[in-house]
Structures are given as structure tokens and as C-alpha cells.
Structure 1
Amino acid sequence: MKKRYLFGMGLMLLFGIQAKAQDQVIDNIIKEARDNSQLKSIGHELMDGIGPRLVGSPQMQKAHDWAVKKYQSWGIEARNEQWGEWRGWERGITHIDMMEPWVKSLSGMQLAWSPASPKGGAMGEVVIIPDLADEAAFKAWLPSVKGKYVMISAPQITGRPDYNWEEWATKESFEKMKEERTELNRAWNERLQKTGQGRRELPQALEDAGALGIITSYWSQGFGANKIFSAYTKKVPTVDVSLEDYGMLYRLAESGKKPKIHLNAQSKETGVVPTFNTIAEIKGSEKPDEYVMLSAHFDSWDGGTGATDNGTGTIMMMEVMRVLKQVYPNPKRTILVGHWGSEEQGLNGSRAFVEDHPEMMDKIQALFNQDNGTGRVANVSGQGFVDSYEYLGRWMNKVPREITRDVETSFPGNPGGGGSDYASFVAAGVPAFSLSSLSWSYYNYTWHTNLDTYDKIVFDDVQNNVIMAAIMVYMACEEPDMVSRERRIPLGRNGEPTEWPSMRSPTRKGGMD
């Protein structure tokens, strides 16, 4: 009886020592992340020093090389792993000046992969696609665009976002504006349909007819915010102009004032360039061939500097690795981070990693991905893994309550079929989870816009995300066994059973069609 008692006391003491040691690591994670945060300096180096990271651009390559050196400076092994090739393109200056009926520099920029203006730029009248009867009438009108700039976006009836109307307008005025806006968009879409040209084909038809360039305006429903995507022209520049300046040009052209602009949009084609993922790792001490992964895409659109999409996810994961190297340098399992290339064109970097490393997929304990902006983590889904509640619940329970108290969870949830890089791993059966964050007006103001810049980062929130992710990675590393991968049959929106997402191959040679 005495021996059994002493044995029991010994077990309790052992477990108590282990729990205390575990809590000390967690305490050290919190302390390092809060007292010695490198987030601001990492963010400055990436967003301000290197800038946006359009796939195929020199800045994307600079970012990959910088990240490897940064990890190595922290004593963390890192490498760039090629997965494909892309059309190389380098952005230059964009100057847009209205010269008639009066002089004003306009707010705008060329779209990604846009052809350049002639050296020094070119002057031309600005015209609108008229409301023509049909495709035949459009073809008859086409020769008139030679030597002119053509506006192809609908004008906006207001530059005020809806929340501003809701705050100040009468209910009647707000409703009237929305009705007018709906009718304007309907009429504009009908106007474009009558040309017989699709969204991609229309700019090409105009440039083939001799247009000097294409003018667009893709308002993002926020003050000063426009989305900046890619050009469809092959020979002449395509520029996006701010809602305010686009509206002014449109009204001048519509009223017969014949506005003229001088556009100088310079860019450079750089041929076919390699594309990479940046991979860094802290080798496991007991189970080096089992992995806990961090995940964030490295590329961005280039209207701003890619700060919240996905600079914040990038610097968060880099900081998690730095903190863990400091306080947990000999993890039980290998900690791996993937900074993926070309997520914006279809999850290409992460899909390539999954396809190129099939032997690893069954050995990934868990993956944590962050992508959707600067806010603190607000939602976690079990992604259809039946037992995710059990282990994610235990791991999250170790995170300070002030960080997790407002996190909404859904278990087991449904598997993500796309949207961000965790979906590439979910399709391969890996327990991969999105640490989805609060909006901070992400979709209106920073997602793919000209305003996605360093000043929009909320560092307190990102710091909390670092603490949460670092603790969950630590707990996943220390888990005695591999977690369950049992999956439930996903349900569609109608509640009917559907299929688990299938793995998809990446585009390994992109942008050259």
C-alpha cells in the first residue's frame, strides 16, 4: 500500500513538474512577444523597404532573399524553393495630368502587367464608350478612338461610402441614391454588352483600333480606395484613376468639353522569371520528421505595399518563428513555415508545395494560416475534422483569456475549398486551420487597394496573434501523438452532403498567355 501511494505521489510530482515547465515556456512566449517585439521593424523593412510583392516582379525576388537572410540572422534555417515561372514585369512611374480644359495632376496608377506609354508619355483626348445600338454600331465607331484615351468603367453616382450616407442622409435621400446607383450600373452594363465584347476582349479591341490607352476606375466603396488588379491590354497602357478624378473626366467628356490628358506610364517586361516559396524551419529534437506548420502568402497585388494582404500574415509568422527560436529552440517536432508565392493568382505556391512534397502530408500535425488582414484573430473553424474541437480547444485554452475571449469557433465546421493557402493542405487531408481576423474595414479599404500600406497595420492586434499562434504551435509540437484526421462528410449550403475538396495542381508557368 505504501509503495503504491509513493508511486502515485511520484506520478503527481512528475506531471506537476512537466506542467510547470510547460507553463514556463508559455510565459516566456508571452514575455518575449510583448517585451521584445520585432513586428514594427520587420514590417518597415518589408513594406517600406521592399514594397509590394507582385509575382514575377523584382520586388518579389528581393522579398524572398530578404526573408532568408532575416531568418538566418535569427539562427533559423531558411531557403527559397522554386516551384514555377512567371511573366516578369517591373512597375515604373505613372504620371497622369489633365491638360485641357484646365491643368490638374490626376490620382491614378497603371495596372499590373500594363504595357508602357511611349517614352515621355503621350497626349490625347479622353472619350467615353457611347451607348450604341449594337455590336455593328460599335465596330463602326471603333476607328474614332485612334489617338485617344477611352474610359470603360461606369461613373459613380457618389464618392461617399454607404456608412457615411447612413450617418448623415435622410432615409428618403439614401434610398433614392441607391435606386439611382442601381439603375446607372444596369444601364452601363447594358451599354457594354451591346459592344459584343467581354471584359477581357474590350480593352484589346480598343487598342487594336489605335487607342492611346485605357482608363478604368474600380472603386472599393471607401473614401479614396480603388482596387488595383491587372491590365488586359497588350500594346497600350491601362490605368486606374481615382473615383473623384475619373468622375470629373467623365462629366467633362459627356458634356462635350473634350478633356485631354498627358499620360506617362512606364514599366518594363523582364522576361520569364523563376517563382519561389520561402521555407524556414526549426528542427525537431525527438520527432524531426513530423511537422507543425505556419503559413502565410508572401506575394501581393501592388496598388499599395501589400501591408494587410498579406504583409501582416507574413510578419506575424516570421515573428512567431523568432519568438519560438528564442524560448523553445529544441521543439519536439519540426516547426516549419511556408511563405507562399502567387497566392493571389490561385494558391499556386502552396498547391505546388503540397504537390511537390507528398511524403510530408501525413506527417503534418497541424497547420495555422493567417491571411485576411491586420485584426486580431476572431474566428477559427475545425475545417471538417471531426476531433478538431478536442485538440484545438486544449491548445487554445493555454492562450491568455484576453486574447481568445472574443474568438468564435465552429466545430467541426466545413472544409475550405479555396480563399487562402490553408485550403491547399485541407484538400490533402492535413488538419489546416485559418486564423481568421477581424475586418478593420479590410474589404473596402485595404484588400487589393491603393491604400494597403504600413500605416493600416494594427500592431497590438498582430502581436496578440503572434502570442496565440506561438502557443498553439508549441502545444501541437508537445502533443504526445499525432492528432486525429478523421473527416466528416461536408455539407453544402442547402444542407445536403457534398464532396471533400479535391487537390488541384498549381499554375507553374503564369502570366504569359
Structure 2
Amino acid sequence: MKRIALIVCIVMSLPFGLVHAQTTDEMVDAIVKEATENSQLEYLAHQLTDVIGPRLVGTPQMQHAHEWAVEQFEEWRISAENQQFGQWQGWERGITHVDLVSPRVVSLEGMQLAWSPATKKGGVEGKLDIIPDVENKAAFEEWLKTIKGKFILVSMMQPTGRPDYNWEEYATEESFQKMKEERDAMQDAWRERFTKIGYNSREVLSVLEEAGAAGIIQSRWSSGFGVNKIFSAGTEKVPVIDLALEDYGMLYRMVEYGDDPVIKVNAQSKKLGKVPTFNTIATIPGSEKPDEYIILSAHYDSWDGGTGATDNATGSITMMEAARILKEVYPNPKRTIIVGLWGSEEQGLNGSTAFVEDNPEIVDNMQALFNQDNGTGRVVRISGQGFLHAYEFLGRWLEAVPRDITRHIETTFPGTPGGGGSDYASFVSAGAPGFSLSSLSWSYWNYTWHTNRDTYDKIVFDDVRNNAILTAVLTYMASEDPETFPRDKAVLPISRRTGEQMTWPTPRTANRDGGN
């Protein structure tokens, strides 16, 4: 008994920081062990991208994803629910099949855009034409009389299907410069073409539709081998199809050379009327300060050209995995931990904005929010988002993270507040401490951001695992911190763009009835 008493006395006499550091080291070791030895990331990514697929707001796949997430959290003994914040125009993608049928037969690589109307069953055949280079709007109106039953090409033909980095590696300096000058001239001429007809690239779609076009063909190249951006259709009656650069260029040249190409398009989809849209919210209750909150944040929806792997399944599974790890090794946090998987981010941060609007008591008592949303890479940048004391708090929380993770991270304090871009901005604009865990690129903007190639095979799981560990440790440290994060705002700098002093972003309003 005397020996036990002596040990207690020694421990009690140690400075609090030393005891806490030892406890923190043990917890961080436990987090790392759970994350590396029992990782669920590959399984979560497979279920979310391969099995459920893309998560376009208003689709059955998005609803399936919400239901699956709740079931998964419950399996981990974490309470979760889907909270409806609005409704959206429902739509379900079917097949897209595009064939060149004359002057030769070949299947083409293409897909209908989100919310595209369907063709009749069995598809539609038609000749092709190109948005004309005419003198004025009157001449364009005359041309419109000739397009009934035709598919209209509305994108500029790219002069090369090789990305610039490929030219830089292999071309002569003179050849590369010549190609860029020719491309710039083509882009200027294409913009002038639309100026002369009196419509921009979105407005012209409904004009073509009303004039009787059978459909609209575009190619929104993403400046990389085999990648196109896939967004929304913008028509009510006829399909809008995105074709791969290679096939689009071939059709364009056939029209220009007078080869009279004919294609057949079979694009099937269903309009489902208005359907509810949700955020998935999971909660680990706090034991000592249950009315203070740490939020693990990621948008759950995606565009549907690929399967939304790096935008933003990776962010979503990072937050799910961090919550799972914490539930295993830190089941009774001091502060309440919330996981927010937001809906309809891609249409304007609607899910997170609605949560801010509907839950002022949570927003007002947030200790911190950690958001991840720009690809599969390891986190390399964290900004203080304009909060005066961000260095003090984030600095000591980051100090506990393993060095092999933090050595990649550059911090900016106090930084400037983000007014958009991802869901942390919904909270920052309300004055709450939300932080973006910004990732290494891995060619995100060209190859996976909103493209047809954003699929499971692009995930780099070593980096995602690092991000889950980082998030779990930051959450643990924020939960244990005896102090509450102060909301004092730094004096913002002069904007280089406007020359005026920057101001704090104002909260936006959630779109709760979208897709009309």
C-alpha cells in the first residue's frame, strides 16, 4: 500500500503538461495503431464508389448512400440519422450509347449530362452540324431553320488531344509555342462566334432545342488524356451528350470536310419528380462538455461522370474512418463529436448552409470543424481562416500529430476566411472556426475534379490513411483542450484584386428547392 501511495504522490507532483503529454502520446499511438492495423478505408471506398456509385443530388444513388452511411455508423455503435433540409428535382441515369453509323460504323465514347432528357426508346438517328460562324444574330436565326432533326456540335474542336505537359516533354520549343498560339487564336475565334450569334454557351442550348435539334453534342475537355468534365444538361426536351475529345474531333472534321456523318444516340433516363434531400449526421456525445462541438465535415454528393471517388468520397471516408477510430479508442470524448456528410454541396454548399441555418446552438458552440474536400492527396495546407488565435490552438493540436504527417503540412496564420469553395466556408461565414484540410493535388483539377475518370482506382490510400489519422488526432486534441476556441477575428489585409480591405464573408442562403 505504501508503494502505491508513493506512486500516486509522484504522479500528482508532476506538472500537468507532462502527465497530459504522456496520455496524449498513448492516445495518438492508439489512433495510429487502429488506423493502420484495422483500416476500413478500402472497404468504405469500394462500397461508396463501386457499389453505390456516383451521388448526384436527387438521384436514387444519393439516397442509397445516405441510408448506407447510417447503417455503417450504427454498425460502429455511433448514432446517426438522415436530416432532410429540402428537396431537389429527382433524376435517374440510364444507358448512353452513341454510334457513328455513316460513313463508317463505330461506337463512340460519350455520356449524357446530368438531368438530361432521354431520347425515345431505341434511340434517334440524325446528321450533324456545327454552331456556325455567321456575321450576326439575324444570320444565325436563318441557320436555325436548317437544323431540325440534326445533332448540333457546340464545343470548339481541340487542336490537340495531348496535354501541355506531354508537349513540354517531347516537342521542340518552337513547335510547342506554335501550338499554343494556334489554340489561343482558335479560342478567341470561338468566343467571337458566340458573341456574333448573340447567345452564350448556356443560352444557346434552349435556342437549339426550340429550333428542333435532335440533340446537342459537346466535348468539355479537361486538359488531360481521356478526361472530360461532366456537368448538367440545361435542356428540357432533347438530350445533351458529352463526347470524348477524340470522337468529338473526328465528327467535327467530318462535318467540316463534307462527309455527311450520321450518328445514332440512345440516351435513357428517368425524371422522378421532387425528392427529399438530406445531410447524414452522426454523433458521439460528449461526456464533460456535451454542448460544445467538434464537426468532421465532408460533402457527400458528387457529379456523376465518374463515381465521385476523389470528389468527395475520399473526404467522406476520411471523416467516417476518423469517427470509427475515435469510437474505438476514445469512446467518451469531453466534447460532442459530430460527423456531417453534407448533401448538395456541388450546387452551392446547400447542405452545410442549411445545417448552419437550422442549428445555431451547435454553430455558436463549435470548438472546431475540420473539412476535407479536394482530392485523394495527403493534407499539405491548413489556414487559420482569419481567426486571430488560430496559431495558438491549431499549433498545439498539430503538435500531437505524428511528425511523418505534419512534415508535409504548411500552415498560414491567421490566414484569410474562405467565402466559398467547400463546406467549411458555410461555418466560417457564420463566424465559427471551420478549417480546410487541403490536399496535395495528384493532378486533381485536370484528371478527377468533376470528370469521367473520378473513380476508385485514383484513390491513394496511404495518403487518405494519413488524413484520417490527422483528423482523428486533431479531433482528440480539440476535444481535450481545456480552453474554448476564441472567435476573435484578425484585421484582414488589402485585397490584391480590388485594392480594398477585405471583409469577412457573409452567410449564404441554402437552396432548399432545387433543380426546377
TM-score class normalised by the smaller sequence: over 0.9
Question: Alignment partner of 1:406: what SS?
Answer: coil
Q: 1:186 to 1:82 in 2, by over 3 A?
A: same
Once residues 171 and 16 of structure 2 are traced to their aligned partners in structure 1, the CA distance between those partners, rounded to angstroms, is 67
Query: Are 2:503 and 1:499 aligned?
Result: yes
Residue in structure 2 matching 1:383, options 378, 382, 385: 385
Quick one: which amino acid aligns to residue 509 of structure 2? Answer: S
Q: Name the residue aligned to 1:404.
A: 406
Quick one: which amino acid aligns to residue 401 of structure 2? Answer: V
Per-residue Cα deviation, 1:381-423 (whole angstroms, up to 9, x for no partner): 0000011011111111111111110211110000000000000
Q: Name structure 1 gaps, 5 residues minimum.
A: 1-5
Residue in structure 2 matching 1:106, options 105, 108, 122: 108
Query: Are 2:488 and 1:508 aligned?
Result: no
Per-residue Cα deviation, 1:125-182 (whole angstroms, up to 9, x for no partner): 0111221111000001101100110001000000000000000000000000000000
Once residues 15 and 501 of structure 1 are traced to their aligned partners in structure 2, the CA distance between those partners, rounded to angstroms, is 37
Quick one: which amino acid aligns to residue 127 of structure 1? Answer: D
Q: Name the residue aligned to 2:3.
A: none
Once residues 431 and 455 of structure 2 are traced to their aligned partners in structure 1, the CA distance between those partners, rounded to angstroms, is 35
Residue in structure 2 matching 1:283, options 282, 285, 300: 285
TM-score normalised by the chain length of structure 1: 0.97
How does 1:150-189 map onto structure 2 within 5 Å?
150-189=152-191
Question: Alignment partner of 1:250: what SS?
Answer: helix
Q: Name the residue aligned to 1:85.
A: 87
Quick one: which amino acid aligns to residue 256 of structure 1? Answer: G
Question: Alignment partner of 1:309: what SS?
Answer: helix
Query: Is this contact kept in 2: 1:489–1:497, CA < 8 A?
Result: no
Question: Alignment partner of 1:144: what SS?
Answer: coil
Once residues 16 and 168 of structure 2 are traced to their aligned partners in structure 1, the CA distance between those partners, rounded to angstroms, is 61
1:191 Cα deviation after fit: 1.1
1:206 Cα deviation after fit: 0.8
1:60 Cα deviation after fit: 0.4
1:21 Cα deviation after fit: 2.3
Per-residue Cα deviation, 1:77-136 (whole angstroms, up to 9, x for no partner): 000000011000000000000001101100010000000011110100011122111100
Per-residue Cα deviation, 1:436-478 (whole angstroms, up to 9, x for no partner): 0000000000000000000000000000001111000000000
Residue in structure 2 matching 1:395, options 397, 420, 425: 397
How does 1:128-139 map onto structure 2 within 5 Å?
128-139=130-141
Question: Alignment partner of 1:372: what SS?
Answer: coil
Once residues 128 and 469 of structure 2 are traced to their aligned partners in structure 1, the CA distance between those partners, rounded to angstroms, is 53
Question: Alignment partner of 1:165: what SS?
Answer: helix
Q: Name the residue aligned to 1:440.
A: 442
Once residues 279 and 389 of structure 1 are traced to their aligned partners in structure 2, the CA distance between those partners, rounded to angstroms, is 29
Question: Alignment partner of 1:194: what SS?
Answer: helix
Q: Name the residue aligned to 1:3.
A: none
Question: Alignment partner of 2:234: what SS?
Answer: coil
Q: Name the residue aligned to 2:256.
A: 254
How does 1:5-404 map onto structure 2 within 5 Å?
10-12=12-14, 16-404=18-406
Per-residue Cα deviation, 1:346-375 (whole angstroms, up to 9, x for no partner): 000000000001121121000000000000
1:18 Cα deviation after fit: 3.6
Once residues 404 and 94 of structure 1 are traced to their aligned partners in structure 2, the CA distance between those partners, rounded to angstroms, is 45
Query: Are 2:456 and 1:454 aligned?
Result: yes
Once residues 213 and 403 of structure 2 are traced to their aligned partners in structure 1, the CA distance between those partners, rounded to angstroms, is 60
Question: Alignment partner of 1:188: what SS?
Answer: helix
Once residues 17 and 9 of structure 2 are traced to their aligned partners in structure 1, the CA distance between those partners, rounded to angstroms, is 12
Question: Alignment partner of 1:368: what SS?
Answer: strand
Query: Is this contact kept in 1: 2:24–2:400, CA < 8 A?
Result: no
Report which stretch shifted further, 126-135 or 492-501: 492-501
Question: Alignment partner of 2:385: what SS?
Answer: coil
Once residues 244 and 72 of structure 1 are traced to their aligned partners in structure 2, the CA distance between those partners, rounded to angstroms, is 47
Quick one: which amino acid aligns to residue 436 of structure 1? Answer: S
Query: Is this contact kept in 2: 1:384–1:490, CA < 8 A?
Result: yes
1:24 Cα deviation after fit: 1.2
Once residues 499 and 201 of structure 1 are traced to their aligned partners in structure 2, the CA distance between those partners, rounded to angstroms, is 34
Query: Is this contact kept in 1: 2:495–2:502, CA < 8 A?
Result: no
Q: When the two structures are aligned, how many residues end up with a matched partner? A: 507
Q: 1:222 to 1:506 in 2, by over 3 A?
A: same
Q: Name the residue aligned to 2:5.
A: none
Quick one: which amino acid aligns to residue 402 of structure 2? Answer: P
Once residues 493 and 278 of structure 2 are traced to their aligned partners in structure 1, the CA distance between those partners, rounded to angstroms, is 35
Report which stretch shifted further, 390-399 or 219-228: 390-399
Once residues 39 and 86 of structure 1 are traced to their aligned partners in structure 2, the CA distance between those partners, rounded to angstroms, is 30
Q: Name structure 2 gaps, 5 residues minimum.
A: 1-7
1:14 Cα deviation after fit: 5.9
Once residues 314 and 65 of structure 1 are traced to their aligned partners in structure 2, the CA distance between those partners, rounded to angstroms, is 14
Quick one: which amino acid aligns to residue 514 of structure 2? Answer: G
1:8 Cα deviation after fit: 9.1
Once residues 118 and 501 of structure 2 are traced to their aligned partners in structure 1, the CA distance between those partners, rounded to angstroms, is 50
Once residues 8 and 466 of structure 1 are traced to their aligned partners in structure 2, the CA distance between those partners, rounded to angstroms, is 36
1:7 Cα deviation after fit: 8.2
Once residues 184 and 73 of structure 2 are traced to their aligned partners in structure 1, the CA distance between those partners, rounded to angstroms, is 51
1:188 Cα deviation after fit: 1.1
